[in-house]
Structure 1
Amino acid sequence: MFMFTAFQTHLVFLFSLSMSIIYGVFSASNLIAPSVVAVIGPQLSMFFSGLLYSGYIAMFIYPYTWSFYTASVLVGIAAAVLWTAQGNVLAINSSDSTIGRNSGIFWALLQFSLFFGNLYIYCAWHGHVHITDKDRQTVFISLTVISLVGCFLFFLIRKPDPESSNSEVSEPLLLFLRDLNSLCYRMPRVLMAFLLISVQACKIFVTKEMLLLSVSIGYTGLELTFYSGVYGTCIGAMTRFGQDAKSLIGISGICIGVGEILGGGVFGMLNKCNRFGRNPVVLLGLITHFVAFYLIFLNIASDAPLAPEAGTDLQAYISPSVGVALLCSFLLGLGDSCFNTQLLSIIGFLFRENSAPAFAVFKFIQSIMAALAFFYSNYLLLHWQLLILVLSGFMGSMTFFMAEWHAESSRRESDYDSI
């Protein structure tokens, strides 16, 4: 929550090319991320990745072209390691009965970043016609400090160890020194670990379950690009929303965050029972997104994604409504939480013994589709982008249903064998 309050907030300043670079490197780096997590452990992986995130945010205090592109590459690498380690931590601290609940709690806390970050930007810059260098530096110094706080909070994450569960818990600093010392002795095995885990990730990628889930994962990458980059740009480009159109981008981000938080919290509690499985939640997400896409199609001009600076005077099929636009933001966040919480849950359930490679495959597929979407968002009109989302969302939901039915049958067979 702390780290992504800083990172997600800065997205309003970026253009599509930079995001394509980040997600392109992100996708490629997922090939090495499981090896890094296996060698130095998930806790240190998250910490060092967090430092790169903080350095990336700090770069905006005094930005230069060379530092901007260098930091974009480094944060792409850090993102792959961070998300792989996060999935590993989530899996090893959950059981089959709690993985769904914990995924929902994690997602809700993470998405508080959208709420706090966009609220901060809106309050800090509301009414400013021109953003000065001092305004920008103040914001990014604050965001850098927030990111560093989140980075050091990773040391408070528990490390389950059944053999020493009754012993006294070590201090975070002692754990850090112990892991760092252990790393020095394990360095000769880094190459072997990389090869073995890369083979393991490839094997997971071609399993029936992951191939089915890959369509749904790919959809989350496409809609991630849409709600985090494209839709806010469209709202800001609508001159018919008045002089406050640009400030609506921040409010839209807040509404997306509210939808994400509500979805993560509610679906996390529903997963505690897990009586009906994951399919109803994914179906709800699909319906929610389809309603949002239809309202956006009616409310936002088709050339809005291509006119972020100049704006557009065109009208869609209804008189442009700020209320409808913000409702769609909420629905986009709610639907996104439906898909992501259930994907985290089912991957943690199916690949518990190999969670790091499995989550690396998950982020590889998602990030490469997000990079693709950031690329085509510069050229396609809004209605074509919505059509791509509708088709991929439908296909992704169908394949998720098949993967869930397969997982449920496997669980029942396992329960029968144990009895």
Structure 2
Amino acid sequence: MRISLGDSFSHITANTLIIGFAFLCLYSAFNAVANTSELVLNSYQSTHADAGFGQGFGYTTLMLFNIFFALGPFVTPFLVRVLLDKISLLVASVSFVLYAASFLKPNVYALYVSTSISGVCTSLLWAAGFNLITVSCPTEYLEVNTSLFWLIAQFSYLFGNGVLFFTFYEVDLISDNTRYLTMSILTVSAIIGTCLFCLAKQPYTSEKLSQRVSKGFKTSVDTVKETVLLLRDFKALFLIVPYIFTGIYQSFFMGVYGACVGQTMYFKNDAYWLAGISGIFVGIGQITAACGRICWSKLVIHTKSKQQEHESKGSLQLFCVSTGFCVACVCFLLMYLFLPDDSPNQKTDEISVFTPNQPIAVLCSFLLGFSDCLFQTEIFSFIGSNFKEATPSAMAMFSFFQAIGGILVFFYTNHLHFGLRLHIYIMAVGSLLTLAVFCIIVNIGEDTSTERDDEKAVKNLKVTEASVLTEKNGIEMENGTANGHGIERTANKETDVSVV
């Protein structure tokens, strides 16, 4: 089933819209819960002394999520193959419902279990979702379908954190009633997302369960092998740095920055409210950067020469990464100047260089989302253009090392009690190294492409010369054969005359 939305969005499939809005509902719940998990659990512990949550328990749950998310890419090929796409989506979405519902009445063991399951199921959700979109539309319309899906999903930052905007307004402590209201709305959102997956259509397959199990196992084993073999490629090795950095960066603004704003007591009753609105502006930054990148790519001059086209694509990647680096540096400077150093770990009245400022805190959220989108999209673009034959393995490698970055963030925040300034130093170094890596691999890629084009040109020239030489020899042989027959006929005539 296809839905026509004009020339620009023709051939949008119903599955694309269903999966896109389902992701919007699921991640509205997940992002909002993850963004405020530390604040919610700290408030719960302060009013329930026997809860058993230590300081930083919210960070511990997010670290556990990333540990299981790191294992997901190597398990999900088997699960998707066996369960098929639609059932995989339903199973994964149920884990999101459990994760949000576990905060209705927080329990240590329930949070451990729901977080661990949702870590694996997040990878399953994305793998099954993209696969179902891929098989539901023609190849020539895949890009517009995946772009629309991604755009719809990004609005989850706005809707989920919009709930926090209203329920946390002028709240100095997250009470039981406030928590019930907030988490109930977010749990219902996740349930709606799960129900939407029931409307998706699974393409028919004639494979039996036993066949799917054997093929799924083989696919998972092949993914692991190909990922290990991919480490022989110098580009893949260099990309480990951006992978880890984006994992650190994304985990910071999803799990730590909201706590920094919410635990800055200078904001008084607006602190929790600001944590919610910060999440909204992270989403606005993501969407703005994505739209800007699309518009800029349209302005890049496309030439008929493949080499010039490759160079323009490389320059676009460097431009976007450089812009992301500059925006991130501005954000780091503002956070350093306006937010207290110990805000990630506890409520604080401390003042940094300048007094905390609400518009600056919101602006930093926008800059975090904007720069993150630029980093992430260029990584995806580079993987797609340089690892076409090993895209699943390259994406598995990306997810694994990005999860490692997330684990590191929540480990040194909770267990090593790193302050905000140490976070800023780490991210600043990571962003600089990411820029350096892209400068290296893009330039080397262009040199390699030039060498390949030169080799192809030389090879084509040799083939042309060989064909011309062969044709020339053939003509000479034909002429020689014709001359031979003529001489033979003349000799025969002379013989006949002598005999007479």
Measured against the shorter chain, the TM-score band is 0.7 to 0.9
CA distance in 2, matches of 1:180, 1:5: 36
- The answer to whether the Cα contact below 8 Å between 2:341 and 2:419 also exists between their aligned partners in 1 is yes
Q: What one-letter code is carried by the residue in structure 1 that aligns with 2:419? A: L
Task: Tell me by how many angstroms 1:74 deviates.
Answer: 0.6
CA distance in 1, matches of 2:423, 2:215: 46
Aligned with 1:377 (options 413, 427, 432): 413
What is the SS of the residue equivalent to 1:270?
Answer: helix
Residue 340 (1) aligns with residue 376 (2): yes
- The answer to whether the Cα contact below 8 Å between 1:90 and 1:102 also exists between their aligned partners in 2 is yes
TM-score with structure 2 setting the length: 0.71
More off after superposition, 76-85 vs 212-221: 76-85
Partner in structure 1 of residue 278 of structure 2 = 252
Distance 1:407 1:382, change over 3 A: same
Q: What one-letter code is carried by the residue in structure 2 that aligns with 1:329? A: S
CA distance in 2, matches of 1:409, 1:88: 34
Task: Tell me by how many angstroms 1:338 deviates.
Answer: 0.5
Task: Tell me by how many angstroms 1:371 deviates.
Answer: 1.0
- The answer to whether the Cα contact below 8 Å between 2:168 and 2:276 also exists between their aligned partners in 1 is no
CA distance in 1, matches of 2:452, 2:134: 19
- The answer to whether the Cα contact below 8 Å between 1:37 and 1:356 also exists between their aligned partners in 2 is no
Partner in structure 1 of residue 79 of structure 2 = 36
More off after superposition, 275-284 vs 329-338: 275-284
Cα RMSD over matched residues? 3.1
Partner in structure 2 of residue 167 of structure 1 = none
Residue 126 (1) aligns with residue 169 (2): yes
Partner in structure 2 of residue 70 of structure 1 = 113
Please list every run of 5 or more consecutive structure 1 residues that lacks an aligned counterpart in the other structure. Answer: 158-171
- The answer to whether the Cα contact below 8 Å between 1:118 and 1:250 also exists between their aligned partners in 2 is yes
CA distance in 2, matches of 1:45, 1:412: 44
What is the SS of the residue equivalent to 1:61?
Answer: coil
- What whole-Å deviation, never above 9, does each CA across 1:26-62 have from its counterpart, x for those lacking one? 1133332334345555555444322322232233334
Q: What one-letter code is carried by the residue in structure 1 that aligns with 2:68? A: V
CA distance in 2, matches of 1:77, 1:55: 13
Partner in structure 1 of residue 290 of structure 2 = 264
CA distance in 1, matches of 2:395, 2:146: 13
Partner in structure 1 of residue 387 of structure 2 = 351
Q: What one-letter code is carried by the residue in structure 1 that aligns with 2:265? A: T
What are the within-5 Å matches in structure 2 for residues 94-133 of structure 1?
Answer: 107-133=150-176
Aligned with 1:393 (options 431, 438, 443): 431
Distance 1:232 1:81, change over 3 A: same
Distance 1:24 1:295, change over 3 A: same
What are the within-5 Å matches in structure 2 for residues 255-334 of structure 1?
Answer: 255-272=281-298, 275=312, 276-307=315-346, 311-334=347-370
CA distance in 2, matches of 1:67, 1:395: 39
Partner in structure 2 of residue 6 of structure 1 = 29
TM-score with structure 1 setting the length: 0.84
- The answer to whether the Cα contact below 8 Å between 1:91 and 1:348 also exists between their aligned partners in 2 is no
Partner in structure 2 of residue 163 of structure 1 = none
More off after superposition, 4-13 vs 350-359: 350-359
Residue 361 (1) aligns with residue 385 (2): no
Task: Tell me by how many angstroms 1:217 deviates.
Answer: 1.2
- What whole-Å deviation, never above 9, does each CA across 1:101-126 have from its counterpart, x for those lacking one? 87765554332111111111211332
Distance 1:280 1:37, change over 3 A: farther
- What whole-Å deviation, never above 9, does each CA across 1:177-227 have from its counterpart, x for those lacking one? x35964453223443333222211222244222212111111111111211
Aligned with 1:146 (options 171, 189, 193): 189
Task: Tell me by how many angstroms 1:79 deviates.
Answer: 1.7
CA distance in 2, matches of 1:98, 1:398: 32
Task: Tell me by how many angstroms 1:143 deviates.
Answer: 2.2
Distance 1:201 1:34, change over 3 A: farther
Task: Tell me by how many angstroms 1:134 deviates.
Answer: 4.5
- What whole-Å deviation, never above 9, does each CA across 1:237-287 have from its counterpart, x for those lacking one? 222223312211111111111111111222134335654431111111011
CA distance in 2, matches of 1:89, 1:225: 28
CA distance in 2, matches of 1:257, 1:250: 11
CA distance in 1, matches of 2:240, 2:139: 24
- The answer to whether the Cα contact below 8 Å between 2:81 and 2:213 also exists between their aligned partners in 1 is no
Task: Tell me by how many angstroms 1:88 deviates.
Answer: 5.6
Q: What one-letter code is carried by the residue in structure 2 that aligns with 1:395? A: L
Distance 1:280 1:182, change over 3 A: farther
Distance 1:306 1:146, change over 3 A: closer
- The answer to whether the Cα contact below 8 Å between 1:286 and 1:393 also exists between their aligned partners in 2 is yes
Partner in structure 2 of residue 241 of structure 1 = 267
Distance 1:243 1:192, change over 3 A: closer
Residue 213 (1) aligns with residue 239 (2): yes
CA distance in 2, matches of 1:185, 1:283: 48
CA distance in 2, matches of 1:362, 1:80: 12
Please list every run of 5 or more consecutive structure 2 residues that lacks an aligned counterpart in the other structure. Answer: 1-23, 39-57, 301-311, 461-500
- What whole-Å deviation, never above 9, does each CA across 1:147-167 have from its counterpart, x for those lacking one? 23334545777xxxxxxxxxx
Distance 1:112 1:194, change over 3 A: same
Partner in structure 2 of residue 166 of structure 1 = none
Q: Which has the higher contact order (CA 8 A, sep 6+)?
A: 1
